[in-house]
Amino acid sequence: MATAAVVSGERESYLNAKYGLKSWLLTVDHKRIALLYLISITFFFFIGGFFALLIRLELLTPAGDLVQADVYNKLFTMHGLVMIFFFLIPAVPAVLGNFLIPLMIGAKDLAFPRINLLSWYLYMVGGTLMIYTILAGGVDTGWTFYTPLSTEFLNTNVISAALAAFVAGFSSILTGLNFIVTIHRMRAPGMTWNRLPLFVWAHYATSIIQILGTPVVAIAIVLVALERLLHLGIFNPALGGDPLLFQHLFWFYSHPAVYIMILPGMGIVSEIVCCFSRKRIFGYKAMALAVLGIAVIGFLVWAHHMFVAGISLYAALVFSLLTYFVGVPSAIKVFNWTATMYKGSITYQTPMLYAFAFIGLFTIGGLTGLFLASLGIDVHVTDTYFVVAHFHYVMVGGMVVAYLAGMHFWWPKISGRMYPEGWGKLAALLVFVGFNLTFFPQFVLGYMGMPRRYHAYPPEFQILNVLSTAGATILAVGYLLPMVYFLWSLRYGAIAPANPWGAAGLEWQTTSPPPEFNFENQPVVTWEAYNYDEIPEPEEVPVAH
């Protein structure tokens, strides 16, 4: 980061307000904490991605010949744990949310800056435990920690992995708490609820899930660890326990956790679609209500992960029906984004390309989710590659693509530099193509019946698996490129103006990068969100040379 501070040294900003390692590690500035998160999250993303590549390489051939079965099991377990708890859940909220929410609502900082720093340290403690777990030989429970396998039948590092998830969970809870209080208490004069950017609404809904869902999985994970240590029997059928209780507690959080991952992404896409269409969002109220609706209804559907697990027939019917209710607000979001483009004045900058990709991939991810909500289909395709494909369409096609969209959109604000547009477009294309090639064949594999978490598989599944692995390599290049050109832009990128895209929103009214306390003068808001009719289009977006 020293580079960034030196480079943009001429302009006063949060980056060069203070110097030295201490000024970063003990900072309470939400923008600096966001950068700390950005670095640590990127680190974990590439660790999780490395595991993913090894998984895909192993699956190139039907026989389990690259790694042993136990190693393979560790790979997919740690891929899941790292990606979910250390990338997907914190990524958008802790990096972009942290950086942008105070700016978007016209506040100097989050309500509790030191708790914000504590969140990052908790994340790092959890992350260290995760790294320890990996280095100490890994863990092979699957990220779901299903009992009694995790409690009685494995002798890998389950406890340290559980603790890692537990601590990271509290980091997430505190982030959510900070956002809720900030959005309620720190809005600038005139920033009423009806004027909040949808990005903020999305984070508000996300925070509700983080606060009310995470503790339940935390206690479930604690009980798993205790059960391993003391053999309490709470989830052990040999002692009268019910393994399905663990699944209930686990999915009570872990299904809504999917919405922790995707809702902030939806917030990003709303901002970007409006900006590059020069339009108000189509149906602001519906969009805001939809994210809240998804967050709340998301709590009612968890047992759809358990349709073949041995739950009651009636419970299965109820949870299946409730699951469809989530479909409605999701459909509204997709249609409204599309409708927002209608009669716009659309340009195709990199963030917008990612937003297009998001709309398409999220549509596929959402529609295939409806297959899984349907009991008769779910019985066949649950625990197969169909599920793997579905949730990667939502998590990677949705959330990661949205994250990249957001990183490109706000990179000028964060770093004060423009990234090279051509390379950006190329990376977006690679991500889109690579992603579809990786995961689309998995839908077919799933319906054919290839179970997930299989180290070796029958030969008739090979060709589709080869396609998938080929896609994964393209995807990997698509992910490495932005990493490279973002770093490059820190030194060589064109200096970003305050508002390179001509975007609405308070964050664009301060300098790029913003000063330490965000605004020179306390902003007072007198306009609705996305007032693109009042904002001139940018003359020329500065490009890197």
Partner 1 sequence: MANHFPNEAEATHDHISSVGSSVAIWLILLVFTGLTVGAAFIDLGPLNTVVALTIATIKATLVVLFFMHVKYTNEKLVPLVIVSAIFFLFLLLGLSMGDYATRVWR
Partner 2 sequence: MFQHMPLWPDSASKMSGHVDELYIFMLLVTFAMTGLIFAGVTIFAVKFRKRKGRHAEQIEGSTLLELTWSVIPFGVMLIYFVWGAVIYFRERTPPQNTAEVYVVAKQWMWKLEHMEGQREINELHVPLGRDVKLIMTSQDVIHSFYIPAFRIKQDVLPGRYTTMWFHATKPGTYHLFCAEYCGTQHSGMIGSIVVMEDRDYMAWMSGSGSQPLAVTGEKLFSELGCVTCHRSDTQGRGPALAGVFGQPVLLEDGRTVTADENYVRESILEPAAKVVRGFKPVMPTFQGQVSDEQLNALVAYVKSLNQPQAAQGTVAAITRQP
Partner 3 sequence: MHTSSTAVAENHAHDNPALLHHFSTEAQQRNAASLGMWVFLAQEVMFFGGMFCAYLVYRFKYPADFAAASKSIAILPGAVNTAVLICSSLTVVLAVRAAQLGKRKALVAWLLLTIFLGLVFLGIKGYEYHDKYVEHHIPGPSFHFDGDLIDHPGVPASQAHTQMYFSLYFAMTGMHALHMIIGVGIFAYLAWMAWRGKYGAEYYTPIENSGLYWHFVDIVWIYLFPLIYLIDRHK
Site for partner 2 in 65-94 (CB under 8 A): 69-70, 73
Q: Return the number of the residue (128 or 345) whose C-beta is nearest partner 2.
A: 345
Counting contacts by CB under 8 A, is residue 515 touching partner 2? no
Counting contacts by CB under 8 A, is residue 211 touching partner 3? yes
> Quick one: what does residue 320 bind among partner 2, partner 1, partner 3, none, with the CB cut-off 5 to 8 Å set by partner type?
partner 2
Site for partner 3 in 235-274 (CB under 8 A): 238-242, 245, 248-249, 252
> Quick one: what does residue 232 bind among partner 3, partner 2, partner 1, none, with the CB cut-off 5 to 8 Å set by partner type?
partner 3
Smallest distance from partner 2 to CB 424, Å: 17
Q: Return the number of the residue (22 or 376) whose C-beta is nearest partner 2.
A: 376
Smallest distance from partner 1 to CB 42, Å: 33
Smallest distance from partner 3 to CB 209, Å: 11
Smallest distance from partner 2 to CB 149, Å: 4
Asked if residues 427 and 482 have their Cβ atoms less than 8 Å apart, the reply is yes
Asked if residues 171 and 91 have their Cβ atoms less than 8 Å apart, the reply is no
Cα–Cα distance between 268 and 406 in angstroms, integer? 6
For 19, phi then psi, to 5°, come to -125, 160
Smallest distance from partner 3 to CB 168, Å: 15
Asked if residues 315 and 303 have their Cβ atoms less than 8 Å apart, the reply is yes
Smallest distance from partner 1 to CB 260, Å: 15
Q: Which of 513, 493, 337, 323 is nearest to 415 (CA)?
A: 513
Cα–Cα distance between 128 and 414 in angstroms, integer? 26
What are the Cα distances from residue 382, in Å, to 307, 365, 373, 377?
9, 15, 10, 8
Smallest distance from partner 1 to CB 330, Å: 20
Q: Is 233 left (phi over 0), alpha (psi -120 to 50) or beta?
A: left
Q: Which of 541, 543, 276, 271 is nearest to 419 (CA)?
A: 543
**What DSSP letter does each residue of 119-130 carry, written as one string?**
HHHHHHHHHHHH
What are the Cα distances from residue 131, in Å, to 81, 125, 134, 157?
11, 10, 5, 11
Number of residues that bind partner 1 (CB under 8 A): 30
Smallest distance from partner 1 to CB 517, Å: 15
277, 436, 499, 512: which one binds partner 2 (CB under 8 A):
277
> Quick one: what does residue 473 bind among partner 1, partner 3, partner 2, none, with the CB cut-off 5 to 8 Å set by partner type?
none
* Site string (13-52) toward partner 3, x via CB under 8 A: ---------------x------------------------
**With CB under 8 A as the contact rule, which of the stretches 135-143, 262-270, 297-305, 343-351 interacts with partner 1?**
297-305
Cα–Cα distance between 125 and 113 in angstroms, integer? 19
Q: Return the number of the residue (505 or 513) whose C-beta is nearest partner 2.
A: 505
Q: List, in sequence order, every residue forming a beta bridge with 217; answer none if it has no partner.
A: none
Q: Which of 267, 349, 355 is nearest to 538 (CA)?
A: 349
Counting contacts by CB under 8 A, is residue 46 touching partner 1? no
* Site string (173-212) toward partner 2, x via CB under 8 A: ----------------------------------------
* Site string (201-220) toward partner 1, x via CB under 8 A: -------x---x---x----
> Quick one: what does residue 215 bind among partner 3, partner 2, partner 1, none, with the CB cut-off 5 to 8 Å set by partner type?
partner 3
**What DSSP letter does each residue of 202-242 carry, written as one string?**
HHHHHHHHHHHHHHHHHHHHHHHHHHHHH---TT-GGGT--
Cα–Cα distance between 438 and 441 in angstroms, integer? 7
Torsion of CA 508, 514, 520, 521, to 10 degrees: 40
Site for partner 2 in 413-442 (CB under 8 A): none
314, 376, 534, 545: which one binds partner 1 (CB under 8 A):
314
Cα–Cα distance between 42 and 223 in angstroms, integer? 31
Counting contacts by CB under 8 A, is residue 289 touching partner 1? no
Q: List, in sequence order, every residue forming a beta bridge with 373; answer none if it has no partner.
A: none
Positions touching partner 1 (CB under 8 A) are 184-192, 208, 212, 216, 244-245, 248-249, 252, 299-300, 302-303, 311-315, 318-319, 524, 526
